[in-house]
Amino acid sequence: MEHMQGNNKRKTNRKLPSYFNDALIVSLVTIIISSILFYFTFYFDEVPQILKRGMQPATFPKGLLIIIISLTSFIYLFSLKNPWKEQEDLPKPFYYTFITLIFFVIIAKTLDFFLGLSVFSFIVSYLWGERRKLLLFFVAAAFPLLVFLFFETILNLRFPSGILTDLYYR
């Protein structure tokens, strides 16, 4: 994963023991989530014996989750012998992009789907270094509009209503 590496070297916390590494965090997160899902499988409805097709609906997911938990434990144990390559810290643009993604969801959900797309495209393009106004306009306004018109006219799709979309639909 060389391409994932930036220039930021990870600041290793010397107070943490050596086993507290990426492998442990990934394994713990996977096992915790899988365990929660496993717990939920006990709340799946059961079908009467006569309708049961081979097994109860919960049996297959339970089996899968047991496999995931077991294999995850294995990868952690193996990592003690063969540690994972240490990942470097994520650079700032990743966080900016991630936060903009959340902005998109909020705007698309509350104001307008295409406004969300335009805002996302503008901010990401700008934060990634684009400063030319014409190209910013193209990415943030012209391109989403072209895509909207294509889907609307050629594919006959109706997008969720919002402050901008409603102007077109009216």
Partner 1 sequence: MENFIYMLAPLLSIELFLVLFFGTLVGLLLGVLPGLGPTTGGALILPFTIVMDPLSAIILLTSIYCAGTYGGAITAILINTPGTPAAAATCLDGYPLAQKGEAGRALGIATIASAFGGIFSVVILVFFAPLLAEVAYQFGQPEYFALAIFGLTMLSSIGEGAPIKNLIAAAFGILISTVGKDFMTSVDRFTFGVNILTEGIGFIPVVVGLFAISEMLVQSTLLNQAFNRVTLDALKLPTLNDVKLTWKTILRSSGIGSFIGVLPAEGGTVASLIGYSEAKRWSKNPQEFGKGSIEGIAGAEAANNAATGGAMVPTLALGIPGSATTAVILTGLIVHGVRPGPSLFREQPDFLYGIFGAMLFSNIIFFILGFFGAKIFARVTLIPNKLLWPMVFVLSVCGTYSLNQSDADVWIMLAFGVIGFFMRRFGFSLVPVIIGLILGELVEGTLRQSLVIFDGNWLLFFTRPIVVTFLILSIAALLFPFLKRAKNSMTKK
Q: Give CA–CA dist 37/68, Å, rounded.
A: 11
Q: Are 8 and 88 in contact (CB under 8 A)?
A: yes
Minimal distance, residue 166 CB to partner 1, in Å: 16
Name which of residues 5 to 64 contact partner 1 (CB under 8 A).
6-7, 22, 26, 30, 37, 40-41, 44-47, 51-55, 57-58, 60-61, 64
Q: Give CA–CA dist 38/62, Å, rounded.
A: 6
129 binds partner 1 (CB under 8 A): yes
137 binds partner 1 (CB under 8 A): no
Q: How many CA atoms lie within 13 A of 124 on its CB side?
A: 18
List all residues 6 or more positions away from 41 whose beta carbon is below 8 Å from its beta carbon: 58, 61, 62, 65
Near partner 1 by CB under 8 A: residue from 28, 32, 67, 163: 67
Q: Give CA–CA dist 84/102, Å, rounded.
A: 30
106 binds partner 1 (CB under 8 A): no
Minimal distance, residue 134 CB to partner 1, in Å: 11
Q: Give CA–CA dist 169/157, Å, rounded.
A: 12
Minimal distance, residue 13 CB to partner 1, in Å: 19
84 binds partner 1 (CB under 8 A): yes
Tokens of 22: 């990426």
Near partner 1 by CB under 8 A: residue from 28, 99, 101, 106: 101
91 binds partner 1 (CB under 8 A): yes
Question: Which DSSP state fits 142?
Answer: I
Q: Are 8 and 93 in contact (CB under 8 A)?
A: no
Minimal distance, residue 38 CB to partner 1, in Å: 11
Minimal distance, residue 61 CB to partner 1, in Å: 5
Near partner 1 by CB under 8 A: residue from 107, 112, 115, 140: 140
